Amino acid sequence: MSVVAAKGFRAAGVWAAIKGSGKPDLTLIVSDYPASAAGVFSANRFRGTDVELDVARLRATGGRARAIVATSGYANTLTGAGGRRDALAIGRAAARMLKIPEREMLVSSTGAIGYRLPVPRVIRGLRKAVRSLAATKEAGAAAARGIMTTDTHPKLAEAKFADGGSVFTVGGIAKGVGMVAPSMATILVYLTTDARIAPPVLRRALVEACADTLNAITVDGQMSTNDTAIILANGAAARRPLSAAGVRRFTAALHEVCAALAHSLVADGEGATRLIRVTVTGARTAREAALAARSVADSALVKTMFYGRQANWGRIAQALGASGARFDPLEVRVRVGGFPAIRGGCLVKPRFELFSRLAESEVPVEIDLGAGRGRASVLTCDLTERYVRINAGYLS
């Protein structure tokens, strides 16, 4: 049931005629009670107008929000002062319809960069969304579809945890299968919980949960301008704050939801046919492990190698050597699909059994740099002709 699995949340996904396809392109998520809020956003210097507005509102409220409206089709980025007026107008209209303070209304957009939103159509869509708000499984799925662009299916997840005799829920939806190489959270991700959590605690938990899930994935090595991950916590399941142990269990549940969404996003990567998890150990530092893992995961040569099911391990070696991580090549050991690939500065001749392993839906790449104790993992996918076709024709 995604974002409506937690008590006190309703959602809707409707067609506002932003897209010409007739598919849902507007999502509304509402807490029935005052809620704490936290977010992490794109580190791109060309950040979207909506991102800037949400950052300012979360700062001004001290981490409070009641609702999120998200549109898909146009990103409202590189749209100047007019784009900011559009975001403000949409947020203002939504707040009035929901009868909540305007500063507690968050906004998001995704889609083609450089196009302004059709505000009159969006506002008409908002009226429809407000009438459609519900806490049903169908409403949650519609909300997930309303934020999709090139995604082939909606991404939803939920988890539960207990504290002090009460059971709480964390739910989430996400979108984004291209322009994915986050350094904060990723794409558009909306999370809810019916636990009562103070904003500073909520933000720390979100950052921690994102670190090795939503922040450790890549599809094409391209960071979006509109990356957004927002969580609302309304305390509807129990008004008392979580205990210290409860906060730890909440963070674990949030991590579970973020991990599930991250996996779904990469598995649906534009044109992807298989997942590749690159795990680096033995680096001098965790930062160097991350550099090495991302260099391999982002390499177009490595990604096309996996698409073609080729044992061309030199591509892994070149990506490692160019990563900036410090190591002795003679100490590096690489295994692909559980089979040795590089050892002692030499390529290892692939065994026949390896090629059936390369055809599986998920293939692990394990790299030991032999230089320290740093560790990192990045989830990526292969690169196919379909990715080129999708992006050669993408406008909305």
Out of 186, 193, 213, 228, pick the active-site residue. 186
Look up residue 125 and give its two tokens. 């869509």
Contact assessment for residue 270 and residue 178, using Cβ atoms and an 8 Å cutoff: yes
Contact assessment for residue 289 and residue 280, using Cβ atoms and an 8 Å cutoff: yes
DSSP structure class, residue 310 = -
Q: Is 105 left (phi over 0), alpha (psi -120 to 50) or beta?
A: beta
**What does DSSP say about strands 188-193 and 333-336: parallel, antiparallel, or unpaired?**
unpaired
Q: Is 152 a catalytic residue?
A: no
d(CA 93, CA 85): 12
DSSP structure class, residue 322 = T
Contact assessment for residue 297 and residue 377, using Cβ atoms and an 8 Å cutoff: no
Output Rg (C-alpha) for the chain, integer angstroms. 22
Report CA 70 to chain centroid distance, whole Å.
15
Contact assessment for residue 234 and residue 347, using Cβ atoms and an 8 Å cutoff: no
Look up residue 376 and give its two tokens. 């990192």
Buried b (16+ CB within 10 A) or exposed e, 143-167: bbbbbbbbbeebbbbbbebebeeee
Q: Which residues are catalytic?
A: 186
